[in-house]
Amino acid sequence: MNDKPKKAPAAGEYGIETLAIHAGASPEPVTGARNTPIYQTTSYVFEDVEHAADLFNLQTFGFIYSRLTNPTVAVLEERMAALEGGRAAVCAASGHAAQFLAFFTLLEPGDEFISSINLYGGSITQFGHSFKRLGWTCHFVDPTDPENFQKALTPRCKAIFIEVLANPGGIVLDVEPIAAIAREAGIPLIVDNTMATPYLCRPMEWGADLVIHSTTKFLSGHGTSMGGALIESGRFDWARDGKFPTMTEPDPAYHGLTFFETFGDFGFTMKARTVALRDFGPAMSPANAFYTITGIESLPVRMERHVANAGIVAEFLDAHPFVAWVSYAGLKNSPYHALAKKYLPRGAGSVFTFGLKGGYEAGIRLVESVNLFSHLANVGDTRSLILHPASTTHRQLTDEQRQAAGAGPDVIRLSIGLETADDLLADLDQALG
């Protein structure tokens, strides 16, 4: 007999391992298929004209067109919200697209925001260059002292953006005081949680209002599927101080509907979906959503192995004669070890950097000499990956920006995979020698 349709588990009812497998999904009611199907369709039949009008006017929920909503993507969105302890989520074609959806929903021309300088190089370029063309200004600060965010505040600042576990420097930020500064200023704290994943850290438990993911990385987990996610906590008061008219004033595209008044604690997600995603179109494909859903099912066990292997490799490198330093918060000598214990009690992730005594040229030789490690620009794969950021992901930055972002000429970034740890050590040892 087919399974009867069951309600999908909700956050708070189950452990994260259970949510990773079940949240947002239930047996398909027509066929009884247990796995979420790939709904490879562009559009959906309306019941009648009134039903179609209600959907387009946002007066009822349902599927219109896969640029906005798709049943496979919807399962992933519910799962992401459950894993992060959020109210709602919207998925996009990439992590960069998810960031764009967030900021387009927040900002108007002339607005500003503050960001940690310790970010993925592509985010620094997006914030510092491309966003300028839209009239948005980003103020970058050293995030290791939370007071730097306070000092950088201006009347036009509309958000603070950080990576809780910074890529690529292995820096762990003190989220609580940064969240307090954002809360006092009446602006949301946006946290990129890609490197930690919700298995290692849930930023909303520490005061984050919005969480961003590149689902391409650990969540998908196998280097197969691009995607991004924007998750809303549901706790931010968008009506405070009148700073966010896009949320609190009538929207002419929807006959004067007011998103915060109409949708309340998931109003931001609705605005991001029905305006930014609708008009700019960076939709996640249902196939990529399917692969990401499947990847998330094994996220907890994969992260345990990622972290265990990373600790072994970091300790090996820390003692290696050709290595000048290792930046991994899981090491007891790391200045971020205590913060990692607080915010990442299950482990400090598996992406970290180290410096070679031979500088830039030694970095080039290393990435060209490994056999088991793959030299490519990604993280969070089952395979172990290696990169020289100064010549790749951070190449477009100035020397000063690279140094500030933890991507100097001697820096190597590793993303430790799930292989036998001894094999990884042997590969690095021969390549370093």
Residue 1 pLDDT > 60, yes or no?
no
| CB-side neighbour CA atoms (13 Å) of 355 | 13
Are residues 315 and 396 located together in one domain of the fold?
A: yes
Domain boundary among 294, 318, 349: 294
Whether 229 and 342 map to the same domain: the answer is: no
Indicate whether 224 and 318 sit together in one domain.
no
Strand-by-strand arrangement of the 374-375 sheet: 323-327, 351-356, 411-415, 385-387, 374-375
Is 5 within a domain?
no
Residue 120 has pLDDT above 90, yes or no: no
- Give the mean pLDDT of 268-293: 97
Query: 3-state class of 11 per DSSP?
Result: strand
Mean pLDDT of all residues in 247-270: 95
Q: Can you give the pLDDT at residue 11?
A: 57
Rounded Cα distance between 149 and 71, Å, is: 40
Together in a domain, 424 and 305? yes
Question: Distance between the two ends of the chain, CA-based, in angstroms?
Answer: 61
Peptide bond into 168 cis (omega under 30): yes
Residue 419 pLDDT exceeds 50: yes
Q: Look at residue 405 in the predicted model and tell me its pLDDT.
A: 65
Q: Residue 228: how many CB atoms within 10 A of its CB?
A: 26
Whether residues 126 and 160 share a domain: the answer is: yes
User: Quick one: which of 329, 300, 96, 128 has its CA closest to 216?
Assistant: 96
Does residue 119 form part of some domain?
Answer: yes
* Domain co-membership, 207 together with 121: yes
127 pLDDT band (50/70/90 cuts)?
Answer: very high
Nearest residue to 152 (alpha-carbon basis) of 117, 120, 203, 121 = 117
**Total number of domains in the chain:** 2
What whole-number distance in Å separates Cα of residue 413 and Cα of residue 356? Answer: 11
Domain that holds residue 90: 16-294
* pLDDT for residue 433: 83
Burial of residue 330 (number of CB atoms within 10 Å: 0-12, 13-18, 19+): buried
| 38 in the same domain as 58 | yes
pLDDT for 407 beyond 90: no
Q: What is the mean pLDDT of the chain?
A: 93
Look at residue 4 and tell me if it is in a domain.
no
Within-domain flag for 374 = yes
pLDDT above 80 (res 401): no
Domain boundary among 251, 271, 294: 294
pLDDT category at 121 given cuts 50, 70, 90 is confident
280 and 335 share one domain: no
List Cβ neighbours of 120 (8 Å cut-off, separation of 6 or more): 163, 167, 168, 192, 194, 393
Residue 3 has pLDDT above 60, yes or no: no
Do strands 157-163 and 112-116 pair parallel, antiparallel, or not at all (unpaired)?
Answer: parallel
Residue 156 has pLDDT above 80, yes or no: yes
- Judgement on whether residues 252 and 360 belong to the same structural domain of the protein: no
* Distance between CA atoms of residues 138 and 116, nearest Å: 10
Asked if the structure places residue 10 within a domain, the reply is no
Kindly state whether residues 325 and 285 are assigned to the same domain.
no
Q: Are residues 284 and 338 in the same domain?
A: no
- Answer yes or no: is pLDDT of 398 > 90: no
pLDDT tens-digit series, residues 332-376? 999 999 999 999 999 999 999 999 998 888 988 999 999 999 999
Q: Does residue 9 belong to any structural domain of this protein?
A: no
CATH code of the domain covering residue 129: 3.40.640.10
Query: Which among 261, 294, 327 is the end of a domain?
Result: 294
CB burial class (10 A; 0-12, 13-18, 19+) of residue 85? buried
Report yes or no on 160 lying in a domain: yes
Highest mean pLDDT: which range of 98-102, 362-366, 402-406: 98-102
- Give the DSSP letter of residue 119: S
DSSP state letter for 164 = S
Three-state SS at 178: helix
Q: Are 284 and 319 within one domain? A: no
In a domain, 383, yes or no: yes
E-assigned strand segments in 220-268: 228-232
Please tell me whether the overall predicted TM-score, pTM, comes out greater than 0.75 for this model.
yes
Domain at 420, CATH number: 3.90.1150.10
| pLDDT per residue as tens digits for the range 25-75 | 999 888 999 999 999 999 999 999 999 999 999 999 999 999 999 999 999
Averaged over 285-306, what is the pLDDT?
98
Q: Which of 139-143, 306-310, 326-330, 391-395 has the lowest mean pLDDT?
A: 391-395
